[in-house]
Amino acid sequence: MDVALVSMPFGNILTPSIGLSLLKAALDGRGVSSRIEYFTFMFAKMAGSSFYLDIADDREPSIHELGGEWVFSRALFDALPSAGPDDDEVYIQTILRERTGWNTQSGVNPVPEAQIRRMVRARKIVDTFLEKCLERIVELDPTIVGFTSIFQQHVASLALAKRIKRKLPGTFIVFGGANAEGVMGAETLRQFTFVDATVSGEGDIVFPELVERVLTAKPLDDLQGVRTQESVASDFEQERFSHARSIDAMDGLPYPDYSDFFDQFRRSGFGRTWQPRIYFETSRGCWWGAKQHCTFCGLNGASMAYRSKSAVRAIEELVFLSEKYHTKDVHVVDNILDIRYFKTVLPELARRRLGIELFYETKANLKKDQLKLMRDAGVLEIQPGIESFSDTVLDLMRKGVSALQNIQLLKWCRELGLTPYWNVLWGFPGEPEEEYAEMARIVPHLTHLQPPGGIAGIRLDRFSPNFFDAQEMGFVDVAPLPAYRHVYPLTDEALMNLAYHFTFRYGDGRDVNRYIRPLLGELRRWMSTSDAGLFMIDAGENLAIWDLRPGGELPVSVLSGLERTLYLDCDAIRGLKTLTRDLETNAATSRAASKVAVALETLVARGLMLEHGGRYLSLAVRLGDYEPSRAVVNRFFSVAKRLGEPVAGGVRVPLERLNGSDGYRVAAERLPSKGSPSYPRSRSRRLSTSQFSVDGRDGLFVEFRSRGN
C-alpha cells in the first residue's frame, strides 16, 4: 500500500469524509494505491454509538469543552510533562460541570453526570483502541499515512501517529484538514516531531504531488502550503504561513470515492440501525463572504473566493453518486448555494424528479418561488443562517438580511414542507439591550414555525473578523477556550497557535447574561412546544385563521373585505405605502384605502401579523401544501369542539363566536367544555382546505372526515 488515509474519532460515522474520498480518487488517477481507514467505526462500537454521536455532533458536551479531544489527551501525552495528577478532576469540575468555557452562562447547564462517567470510561479503552488501529496500519504497511483533522479529531490522530512513527519509523506522516491550516499546522509540526508534514488549505492539487515526491524521494521544499520539520522554523521566523494553491476549475475535480466507507459501514453493523448519507460538493468559498465577511464566521481560512461546478457536471456527479452508493439522502457541503443554480441546476432536477433529497446552506433572503423550486428539485433541508430577529444585531453580524426576511423564510418553509436548520446567536459588542427585549416580545408569535436547533452566545473562531480584528470589534483578553489547557499541557504560545476556538471579555464590560434571560426563556418555551399552529384557509370572500399558539387570544378569526385583502397581500413583506398605493388603484377598494393603517394595526394587535419599520408580514401559514403535524391536528379538533356546535358531519362555529365577539376573546384552552358524546368523532389525522367552508350567515363549518383520507 502506498498511502493509508485515516479518519479518527470523533469523525462522523454516518457520512464518509469527502476530503479523503477526493484524495483517494485523485491518487487512483495517478496509479497510486491507497485506502481510507475509518477507525471511527471501531471506537464508536467500543465506546457506545450514542455516546460517540453526542460528542461527534457537539451535543453533550459541546465543542466548548473539547470532550472528544480530552478523551484521547492522556494517550498522546503519556511521555510528556502533564498538568498534574489532579488535572482530570479540575477539568471535570470546571469545564464539564461549571462550563467555564462559555462566555455567556445563561442557559448553559452542567454536562450530565452520566455523560461524564461515559467520558471517563471511554478514556480507559483508548489504549486498546489505538493498539488495534496500529495493528491495522502495520498490516497495510503504507509508505505514507495521511490524517484528516477537523473539529475534534486532532488529538486522536496525533496519538495514533505517534504510535505509528514509533513502530514504523520510516513511515511518512502528514496531516491536513481545518486543524492544519496556517499557524495551527505549523505549531502541530513544532510540538509533535513525529509528524513529517502538514498541508494548509485545499489539498486537491498539492497532496498528490507530495505523495509522488515522497514515493520517489524528491524534496518537498517548493510545494506551496506544505510545511515540514525542516521548513517550519523558517515559517515561524518570517511569520508567514502560506496556503496550498486552491483549485480554480471545480469541474476538474474527480468524483469522490466512497467505496471504503460503505464497505466498512456494512461490516460495522450500524446499517441495522442507520442509513448513511453521502456528501456532495458543488462549490467552494462563499460569494457573500467575498463581499462582506460575516463577523463570527471562521470558515474559508485559506480562500474565500467563490468557485462552483457547471450545471452539467453538478447534475451528472449527483446522479452518479446517488446510483453508485444506493442512497437518496445527500448532504451538500457548500458554504452557500450558487444563485445561478436557480436558472440551471434546480430547474433540471425538478424536471427529472430523481427522488434525491438534498441539504443546502443558503442565505435567508430567498423568494417564495425560489423555495418552491428548491422543494421541487428535492432540496428539502436548508441551513439559512438566520441567527437573530433584530435588524441591528444582524447588521453587526454583516448578514445582509433583515429580521422580517428571516421570519418570512421560516413561514414559507413551513408552508412548502422544507425543514430549516438554524440557530440564535447573541453577545455581539455594541448590540443594544432593548433589541433582546423586543425579540422576547416577538418569539411567542412564532411558535407555529420551526424552532431554532441551538441557542448560544458567540465564541471567537480563528479566521473570523471577530478574531482577527478583536480589539476593533470590541473584544479584549482573547485566549484559547479553557479546555485547551486540559487537553494540551503546553505553553501559552503553543496553545494560542493550536487553538481554533477562543474566549474573550467585552471591552465595554457589558453583562450579556442579564439582558439575554427574557429571550432565552421564550426560546426554550418555543423549542419545547409541539402543538402550536397558526394556519389560514381562504374561502373566497372570507379568510379563516386558526390560532392554536400558546396564549393566543382568538382561537379563530374570519377576515373579509379590506382585512382579508391586506392579509393575503402581506404573505410577503410589504410596506405601508405600497399597500396603500395598490389599494388606491383598485376601484373596488379605493374607499377603504384610508383605513389601511387602522386595519393593519388591528391585525398586528391580534398577533396575526408583525410590523417593523413600516413593513408588515402576515404570520399564518396557508393550509394546502402545508400539512399540520398530528399534535396540531389533535389540538385543532379539541379547540373546534369546544368553540363550536355539533352539526351533521362536523362542527359549526357561529358568527357571534368569531373574531373575539360575544365573550370569546379568551385562550382556546379556557373555552367552555362541550359534552363529547354529542360530537361526531374525527377519524382524520390530516387537515385539508376541503374540510372548511365559511358562510356569511351561518359562520364557519368544519367537516370532521377529510375527503380522500
pLDDT at position 703 is 73
Reply yes or no on whether the pLDDT at 217 is more than 80: yes
Which of 466, 499, 527 represents a domain boundary (last residue)? Answer: 527
Choose the weakest-confidence range: 99-108, 197-206, 238-247, 382-391: 99-108
Kindly state whether residues 177 and 288 are assigned to the same domain. Answer: no
In a domain, 577, yes or no: yes
Considering the domain architecture, whether residues 286 and 405 belong to the same structural domain is answered as: yes
pLDDT at 665: 34
Most confident of the following: 74-83, 551-560, 577-586, 589-598: 551-560
- pLDDT-derived band at 683 (thresholds 50, 70, 90) equals low
For residue 380, being part of any structural domain is answered with yes
Per-residue pLDDT at 137? 98
If residue 347 lies in a helix (H) or strand (E), which one and from where to where? helix 345-352
Q: How confident is the model at residue 671, as a pLDDT?
A: 39
- Write the CATH number for 29: 3.40.50.280
Between the CA atoms of 665, 666, 667 and 669, what dihedral angle is there, to the nearest 10 degrees?
-120
Residue 629 lies in a domain: yes
Q: Which three cell numbers stand for residue 550?
A: 400558546
Q: Please tell me the predicted confidence (pLDDT) of residue 586.
A: 59
What is residue 108's predicted lDDT score, i.e. its pLDDT?
84
Q: Backbone dihedral region of 268: left (phi > 0), alpha (psi from -120 to 50 degrees) or beta?
A: alpha
* Rounded alpha-carbon distances, angstroms, from residue 142 to 43, 138, 299: 22, 8, 32
CA 679 remoteness from chain centre: 45
CATH label of the domain that carries residue 380:
3.80.30.20
Higher pLDDT: 197 or 691? It is 197
103 belongs to a structural domain: no
Give yes or no: residues 552 and 438 share one domain. no
pLDDT of residue 104: 80
Residue 257 above 90 pLDDT?
A: yes
- Single residue among 207, 238, 269 that ends a domain in this structure: 238
For residue 592, pLDDT over 80 is answered with no
Q: What pLDDT is stored for residue 82 in this prediction?
A: 47
> Which value, in Å, is the radius of gyration of the alpha carbons in the chain?
29
Residue 692 cell numbers, joined: 372548511
pLDDT at 134: 98
Lowest model confidence (mean pLDDT) among 40-44, 175-179, 626-630 = 626-630
C-alpha cell at 525: 418555551
What is the predicted pLDDT for the residue at 85?
57
Q: Helix-strand-coil percent breakdown of the chain, rounded to 5? A: 45, 15, 40
Amino acid 666: pLDDT:
32
Instruction: Spell 654-692 as b/e; 16+ CB within 10 A means b.
Output: ebebbbeeeebeeebeebeebeeeebeebebeebbeebb
Each residue of 257-289: b (16+ CB within 10 Å) or e? bbbbbbebbeebebeeeeebbbbbbbbbbbbbb
Q: What is the predicted pLDDT for the residue at 679?
A: 45
Please provide the average confidence, as pLDDT, over all residues in the chain: 90
To the nearest 10°, the Cα dihedral for 29, 162, 222, 34? -10
Domain termination site, one of 221, 238, 255: 238
Task: Please give the Cα distance from 459 to 100 (Å, whole number).
Answer: 13
What integer pLDDT is reported at residue 708 of this predicted model?
40
Q: Are residues 449 and 564 in the same domain?
A: no
Spell out the alpha helix ranges (H) of 353-491.
368-377, 391-397, 403-416, 433-442, 465-468, 470-473, 483-487
Question: Taking 70 as the threshold, does the pLDDT of residue 684 lie above it?
Answer: no
Mean pLDDT computed over 607-618: 95
Domain assignment present for 268: no
Query: pLDDT, tens digit, for every residue of 616-637?
Result: 999 999 998 898 988 898 888 8
Count of C-beta atoms within a 10 Å radius of residue 52: 23
Distance separating alpha carbons of residues 585 and 195, to the nearest angstrom: 73
Burial class (CB in 10 A: 0-12, 13-18, 19+), 399: buried
Mean pLDDT, residues 608-623 taken together? 95
Q: Three cell numbers at 319?
A: 446522479
Distance separating alpha carbons of residues 593 and 558, to the nearest angstrom: 20
Mean pLDDT of 471-491: 96
Stretch 138-162: mean pLDDT, rounded?
A: 97
The answer on 300 and 198 residing in a single domain is no
The yes-or-no verdict on residue 600 having pLDDT over 80 is: yes
The mean pLDDT of 244-250, rounded to a whole number, is 95
Across 138-173, b (16+ Cβ under 10 Å) vs e yields eebebbbbbbbbbbbbbbbbbbbbbbbbeebeebbb
Domain co-membership, 378 together with 473:
yes
Non-local CB neighbours of 331 within 8 Å, separated by 6+ positions = 15, 277, 278, 279, 280, 358, 359
Indicate the number of domains in the chain.
3
Which residues does 304 contact at the CB level (< 8 Å), separation at least 6? 285, 286, 289, 290, 293
What would the pLDDT profile of 544-574 be if each residue is shown by its tens digit? 899 999 977 788 888 988 899 999 999 999 9
- Give, in degrees to the nearest 5, the angle at Cα 397 between 394 and 400: 60
Is 494 within a domain?
yes
Q: How confident is the model at residue 685 (pLDDT cuts 50, 70, 90)?
A: low
Neighbour-count burial of 598, counting CB atoms closer than 10 A to its CB (0-12 exposed, 13-18 middle, 19+ buried):
exposed
Share of the chain above pLDDT 70, in %: 91
d(CA 292, CA 139): 50
Q: Can you tell me the mean pLDDT for 237-262? A: 95
> In terms of domains, do 497 and 542 share one?
no
Higher pLDDT pick, 613 / 157: 157
Please indicate, yes or no, if residue 106 is contained in any of the structural domains.
no
Query: Do 204 and 309 sit in the same domain of this protein?
Result: no
pLDDT above 90: residue 84: no
What mean pLDDT do residues 486-512 have? 96
**Interval 336-344 mean pLDDT:** 97
Same domain, 379 and 234: no
Residues 370-391 as b or e (16 or more Cβ within 10 Å = b):
bbbbbbebbbbbbbbbbbbbbb
pLDDT at 427: 95
Inform me whether the pLDDT recorded for 407 exceeds 60. yes
Distance of CA 121 to the CA centre of its chain: 30
User: In terms of residue numbers, what domain contains 221?
Assistant: 3-63+120-238
Answer yes or no: do 418 and 388 share one domain: yes
Q: Where is average pLDDT lowest: 170-174, 492-496, 534-538?
A: 534-538
Residue 431 pLDDT more than 70? yes
Whether residue 379 is contained in a domain is answered as yes
Whether residue 523 is found in the same domain as residue 548: no
The highest-confidence range among 34-48, 49-63, 231-245, by mean pLDDT, is 34-48
Q: Work out the percent of the chain whose per-residue pLDDT is above 90.
A: 76
Could you read off the pLDDT of 350-370 as tens digits, one per residue?
Answer: 999 999 999 999 999 999 999
669 closest CA partner among 642, 644, 702, 630: 642
263 φ, ψ (degrees, to nearest 5): -65, -45
Residues 6+ apart with CB under 8 A from 50: none
pLDDT at position 661: 46
Q: What is the model's pLDDT at position 649?
A: 73
For the segment 241-252, the average pLDDT, to the nearest whole number, is 94
- Averaged pLDDT, 132-149: 98
490 and 539, same domain (yes or no): no
